[in-house]
Amino acid sequence: MKKIHYREWGIESPRYWGLLAVLATIVAVGGFATLYMEHQGHWVTGMTNQIVWGTPHVFAIFLIVAASGALNVASIGSVFGQKMYKPLARLSGLMAITLLVGGLIVLVLDLGQPTRLIVAMTTYNFKSIFAWNIYLYVGFMAIVAVYLFTMMERKANGYSHGVGVLAFVWRLALTTGTGSIFGFLVARQGYDAAIMAPMFIIMSFAYGLALYLLVLMFTFNTDDRPLGDALLRRLKNLLGVFVAAIFYFTVVYHLTNLYGTENHAYEAFILRDGGVYTWVFWLCWVLLGMIVPMGILFHPALGMQRGAITIAALLVVFGGLSAIYVIVIGGQAFPLNMFPGHTIIESGYYDGVDGLARAYSPSLPEFLLGIGGFALALLATFVGVRLLQFLPTSLADEVIDPHAAK
């Protein structure tokens, strides 16, 4: 491997500032939406006492899951010693932090009492996986920051491997922690499965890599930096494999659920009778989010076209948001099984009369808050690569791996 040089992102100023202005506007709109929701109270959202976590949580969880996945590219280089991935590590670390910040901000701003965050930081209930997650998130950011430092500061290079391993282990814990938020909800049928944690890990691999690929291709393209076909082929194949793995886990998850009689009703709900959730599951999660991107990525011709890879990665992101939507909101819409063997025929509080789903329709402010978090993560990424040396000047095949070149 030739010596890799890094340089700040060189996109021309007007385009750069234009891009920032667009993203900043989206962030600002999200901010106003938040102020509105916090000022009025949550009645202006679609969330209710039955669907307590709504669209903001879908975005927040997606971003947090993707954040740990974005670090994977760096881990493959440092932990698993794949030289080709080494030059990709800095951007990977940066995105791990920015995506996490974006997700956490959405999560915090949706709290009923966001100003009491200080309470959350000082009074801990150590039995709560939620409280543990606060440590996991903060620790993750700190470790990745140190990791970035060891990569970017020559004198500290020697520690890079060790810190990289730590970061990798930490990110596994983090994703497991995020998945466990659901795993602990014993009373909710859709969540009560051991497979949840590994499924979240594999989802994080795919969603993080998809976002990484998009940012990598975009920044390199706008800056006329060479991005080799061999490298791109590896990354897109990896993405294809991760999506295939989600596919596998999705199938196993639903099959094991079908195996246990007590979950039949839930399965029928998601797979057949759940209305919008069934549609989102089959159309958005399975078809557009997994089958189509796999078809593109593994297609001999399409799979090598950059435009097609971009579309595939975008679809994976879309499928990811849909998957989290089905899990988070579909899981709540399905009524609690309070009286096994009975049907609720009347209820003063939406207990799922006749087994019908509880209603939820996302509201605009919720959606704007979620999108705002997304925009914030991208904004921070673009500012980062502009100010500091995150991007290699070239990822041409002969630069990163002379032997791999055709």
Contact yes or no for 23/379 (Cβ under 8 A): yes
Least distance to another protein, CB of residue 179, Å: 14
* Given 42, 161, 233, 234, the residue binding another protein (CB under 8 A): 42
Backbone phi, psi, residue 302, to 5°: -55, -40
Both structure tokens of 155: 């004198």
Smallest separation (angstroms) from another protein to the CB of 172: 22
If DSSP codes are grouped into helix, strand and coil, which group holds residue 108?
A: helix
DSSP conformation class of 227: B
CA distance linking residue 41 with residue 37, whole number of Å: 5
Position 36 contacts another protein (CB under 8 A): no
Phi, psi (degrees; rounded to nearest 5) at 391: -100, 130
The stretch among 19-27, 79-87, 147-155, 340-348 that binds another protein (CB under 8 A) is: 340-348
253-258's contacts with Cβ under 8 Å and 24+ in sequence apart are 253/193, 253/195, 253/199, 256/193, 256/195, 257/193
Among 46, 87, 177, 303, binds another protein (CB under 8 A): 46
Binds another protein by CB under 8 A, chosen from 347, 364, 387, 402:
347
SS3 label, residue 395 = strand
Among 48, 222, 389, 393, binds another protein (CB under 8 A): 48
Tell which one of 3, 14, 49, 301 touches another protein (CB under 8 A): 49
Is 120 one of the binding residues for another protein (CB under 8 A)? yes
Q: What are phi and psi of 236, to 5 degrees?
A: -70, -35
Q: Give min distance, CB of 261 to another protein, in A.
A: 14
Q: Of 3, 13, 113, 155, which one interacts with another protein (CB under 8 A)?
A: 113
Those residues whose C-beta lies under 8 Å from the C-beta of residue 262, and which sit 6 or more positions away, are 189, 337, 340
What's CA 71's distance to the chain center, in Å? 11
Question: How far is Cα 210 from Cα 234, in angstroms, rounded to an integer?
Answer: 13
Position 185 contacts another protein (CB under 8 A): yes
User: 344 and 227 in contact (C-beta within 8 Å)?
Assistant: no
Applying CB under 8 A, which of residues 301, 307, 346, 406 lies at the interface with another protein?
346
Single-letter amino acid code for the residue at 341 = G
188 binds another protein (CB under 8 A): yes
Kindly state the DSSP code that residue 335 receives in the 8-state scheme: P
40 in contact with another protein (CB under 8 A): yes
How many other C-beta atoms are found inside a 10 Å radius of the C-beta of residue 166? 16
Q: Which stretch binds another protein (CB under 8 A): 38-46, 97-105, 211-219, 279-287?
A: 38-46
In whole angstroms, give the CA distance from residue 125 to residue 118: 14
Query: 227 - beta bridge partners?
Result: 395
Q: Which stretch binds another protein (CB under 8 A): 74-82, 251-259, 270-278, 331-339?
A: 331-339
Among 114-122, 142-150, 198-206, 377-385, the segment contacting another protein (CB under 8 A) = 114-122
- Which of 3, 307, 341, 403 touches another protein (CB under 8 A)? 341
> What's the closest the beta carbon of residue 328 comes to another protein, in angstroms?
10
Residues making contact with another protein (CB under 8 A):
38, 40-43, 46-50, 52-53, 111-114, 116-117, 119-120, 123-125, 127-131, 134, 181, 184-188, 332, 336-351, 358-359
